Chains A and B, each alone.
Chain A
Amino acid sequence: MSHLHVPDGILPLWLILVGWLATVLMLAVAMHALRGRERARTVPQIGIVSALLIAAMSTEIVPIAYHANLTVLAGIILGPAGGVVAAFAVNLILALFGHGGITVVGLNTVVIGSETVLGYVLFYLFVRLLPRHVGVAAGMATVITLFLSTSLSIGIIALSQINPAEARDMGSLNPHTLSFSNPFKEGVLANRIVTPEQEGGASSTLSLKRFAEAMYALGAIGWTLESLLTGFLVSFVARVRPSLLRQPILGAALAGGDG
């Protein structure tokens, strides 16, 4: 639930543009950070981790339509720069399959990209505190990261309705045009989507409190499942292929194993 499964046409245009602008900046910084690396090695690494994320996201784990995201795992393996590029690739491909709007790819890259960056930072921070428990460190990093990114998502939704009147001029949701009556009420031919008396009528803007409650309630289940999965996967990778994690930072932690 951390990323925005927001379909097209719901968020205001200015916010969508801000999301794309932020994504362009994030990608520019990431590309700059990756410029020194061997391209023939970096391209398949990022591409295949992105594919892993898509495969994980298309596999239902429990019968409540919950799927894993593995964004923190991607951050841990690829690092922040690679993680941001992977976030963009995953969002673009998923949007083409209707998993979130195509116009929201920018904002989703900001949210998921921040998950990979935060996940990376928090994981290596917790590994220093719990050097013998790599899996636990990954699980804790995942819970905190997903809580923060869910809050970021809610913040984005909150931003989308700060000033509906202003948003109207930018071509976004308009409380007037939204508050139309049933178009079939007076018959199909005589329908008036907005009646004159309704033009200044009830607001139909999003109830942020209701939205936040739903996001946190559903999100908490997802964070728990995701942290268990990520914790297991990181401790598994640390045992089987420790070279994939950053040895100099982990130091003796990996040598000592993990619980």
Chain B
Amino acid sequence: MDIATVDYWANAGGSYLHRASPTAKLMAAALGLAAVIVVFNLFLVATVFVLVVALAWRAGIPVRKLILISLYPGVFALLFAMAQFHGDFIIPGTTIAKAVGAASVVVLLIATTPYPRLFAALRPVLPGFIVEVLYVTYRSVFILLGVLSDVLIAVRLRGGFTGRALGRRLQGAAVALAVATLRSFEISERTYAVMQMRGYSGRISGEASGGLHLRDVPLVGAAAAVAGQAFLFRYEWRALNPFSWAPFAAALLVLAVAMLVPRAAVAGGRERPVSEMLRGDAQ
């Protein structure tokens, strides 16, 4: 789980997906998730995954890293897959594919939407108190990850985490977490003081979610089509399953087109893929 990297993708990109309104992306992600959840056909789950990869490619997100992050829930799905194994690999395989497919939809959403904008879009459905907790949590995660990283380096430099001794590792982790715990209380008190000084009146100002725009119609429309097709295959599976290769083949075609058409040509030269930025930063 590389929170900082995904956050960088969301903030650094300028693709169509990055510019789409968070509300539209939330709707599209919900439809994509619904598609993965309702179907039990490996081809159709793979269709959603391939379309996500195509979108990620167009958005300039490093596809290999996105796939790696999406594979993470597959590890947990293994437990369920093992319990479902009765001599046929297809059933457990579908379970793992559903986990990875659903995760890829969510990862694409957060890889193209900065968290504050996502939380702003959630404001109509969540109480303000919880949205503010989410803002503070998001802001503090990076500070605490930095603190934990520094302390873990210090522990390593002093000989911690060496060898395979569980006791030493646990001791090192405990020290790091203890420092992070204390630091978190300091941050909490400082945040309280800052909120008081700034005249906090029960709402941390966040970005506006932006609402829906005309340019978002293709995204939401495509997601609705994928979800509609999934529901159709779910309820008319007896008749449609023999043709389930067709959506998968279409998705592969979309991926091929997405990879072959130059990104800059579509975006009028404005786009600079995040993957290129990362390469540039490394140099």
Across the interface, do B133 and A89 meet the contact criterion of CB distance under 8 Å?
yes
Across the interface, do B40 and A174 meet the contact criterion of CB distance under 8 Å?
yes
A45-B188, A204-B91 known; A101+B84 contact, CB < 8 A: no
Residues 40 to 69 of chain A near chain B (Cβ within 8 Å): 40-41, 43-52, 54-59, 61-62, 65, 68
Is B162 close to A, CB under 8 A? no
Chain A interface size, as a band, is 35 or more
Residues of B close to A21: CB separation below 8 A: none
A85→B127 CA distance, assembly (Å): 11
Contact digits for B162-185, partner A, Cβ 8 Å, 1 yes 0 no: 000010011001101110111011
Residues of B close to A214: CB separation below 8 A: 79, 82-83
Across the interface, do A8 and B102 meet the contact criterion of CB distance under 8 Å?
yes
Residues of B close to A162: CB separation below 8 A: none
Taking CB as reference atom, which chain A residue is nearest B248? A188
Across the interface, do B187 and A48 meet the contact criterion of CB distance under 8 Å?
yes
Taking CB as reference atom, which chain B residue is nearest A208? B83
Taking CB as reference atom, which chain B residue is nearest A210? B83
> Which among A40, A99, A182, A229 has the greatest number of chain B C-beta atoms within 10 A?
A40
Taking CB as reference atom, which chain B residue is nearest A215? B79
A10-B77, A189-B245, A225-B170 known; A171+B177 contact, CB < 8 A: no
Across the interface, do A47 and B137 meet the contact criterion of CB distance under 8 Å?
yes
Residues 172 to 204 of chain A near chain B (Cβ within 8 Å): 173-174, 177-183, 188-194, 202, 204
Residues 111 to 168 of chain B near chain A (Cβ within 8 Å): 118, 127, 129-130, 132-141, 143-145, 147-148, 152, 166
A171→B182 CA distance, assembly (Å): 47
Contact digits for B235-261, partner A, Cβ 8 Å, 1 yes 0 no: 001100110110000000000000000
Across the interface, do B141 and A51 meet the contact criterion of CB distance under 8 Å?
yes
> Which among A52, A100, A240 has the greatest number of chain B C-beta atoms within 10 A?
A52
Is B73 close to A, CB under 8 A? yes
Contact digits for A95-136, partner B, Cβ 8 Å, 1 yes 0 no: 111111111000000000000000000000000000000000
A94→B147 CA distance, assembly (Å): 19
Across the interface, do A89 and B76 meet the contact criterion of CB distance under 8 Å?
no
A108→B170 CA distance, assembly (Å): 26
Measured CB to CB, the closest approach of chain A to B101, in angstroms, equals 8
Interface stretch of the complex, out of B13-21, B191-199, B205-213, B217-225: B191-199
A6-B76, A9-B37, A43-B132 known; A55+B145 contact, CB < 8 A: yes
Across the interface, do A103 and B170 meet the contact criterion of CB distance under 8 Å?
no
Taking CB as reference atom, which chain B residue is nearest A1? B79
Is A165 close to B, CB under 8 A? no
Is B52 close to A, CB under 8 A? no
Q: What 6 new A-B contacts, CB under 8 Å, besides A9-B95, A45-B188, A207-B84?
A: A34-B129, A44-B136, A47-B140, A50-B140, A180-B90, A237-B182
